Amino acid sequence: MKKRDWVYPALTAAVLITDQLLKSAARTRILEGETVPLQLTKKRRYLEISHGDSHVDGNSSTDNGSRRPEHSGNVRESSSHALLLARNSRNRGAAMNLMQRHPGIVMMISAGYTLALTILFAVTLGHAGGDVLKAGLSLLLGGAYSNTYDRLRRRYVTDYVSFNFGPKFLRNIVYNIGDFAIAVGALLLVIGANKSNEVT
């Protein structure tokens, strides 16, 4: 294991912690099934969140420094302009809500998959080179740990962000950071494996 290989477990931990913090925020601040538009305004560079009938931005405050609504607006109307939507969705199945009626099977598959990835990751760290492969496994493992932890503890995975553009099927799917880490990690894994084959 090279000295700089500590970066890869750190990347795994960063994905796990970030995803769990965002999942916790979604569960505590957003009602299940609720949609909260997330907007980045053109004139001011900050994240603007529309919630309920009020519109709250990062520059609005009272004399004592507390946040206050600046605009009033309709959430449904605001959400039509937001590219991203914050949600609180419970997924008891696999990716894209597959196997929703068999959460026990999904949980066992998820645990086995995560264990296999952990072993592969440990073996890979023991070899020189393969930085792309290691980065891919790090991201995959971070997402797998987070989602598997949800399944073991809660019997469902918390998803909290969806796209408000593109095809309808894409807009209907709710994701989490772990899902994106798994997708990017899988891509890097393929690229890393191809590079290793070219070298050999």
pTM of this structure: 0.74
Q: Which residue has better confidence, 37 or 66? A: 37
Neighbour tally for 116: CB within 10 Å? 11
Average pLDDT, the chain: 79
Q: What is the pLDDT of residues 112-138, one digit of tens each?
A: 999 999 999 999 887 877 899 999 999
Q: Please report the pLDDT score of residue 72 as a whole number.
A: 36
Q: Is it the case that residue 91 has pLDDT exceeding 50?
A: yes
% of the chain surpassing 70 pLDDT: 71
Q: Which residue has better confidence, 102 or 199? A: 102
Residue 148 parent element (H or E): helix 131-154
Q: Is it the case that residue 51 has pLDDT exceeding 60?
A: no
163, 37 contact by CB (below 8 A)? no
Q: What is the pLDDT of residues 12-38, one digit of tens each?
A: 999 999 999 999 999 999 999 899 998
Q: Which residue has better confidence, 13 or 82? A: 13
pLDDT category at 53 given cuts 50, 70, 90 is very low
State CA 119 to chain mean position distance.
Answer: 23
**Mean pLDDT computed over 37-41:** 71
Q: Is it the case that residue 152 has pLDDT exceeding 60?
A: yes
Q: Is it the case that residue 49 has pLDDT exceeding 70?
A: no
pLDDT category at 56 given cuts 50, 70, 90 is very low
Q: Is it the case that residue 77 has pLDDT exceeding 50?
A: no
Which residue in 92, 117, 88 sits closest to 107, CA to CA?
92
State CA 167 to chain mean position distance.
Answer: 20
Considering Cα of 183, then 188, then 189, then 194, what sign does the dihedral take? positive
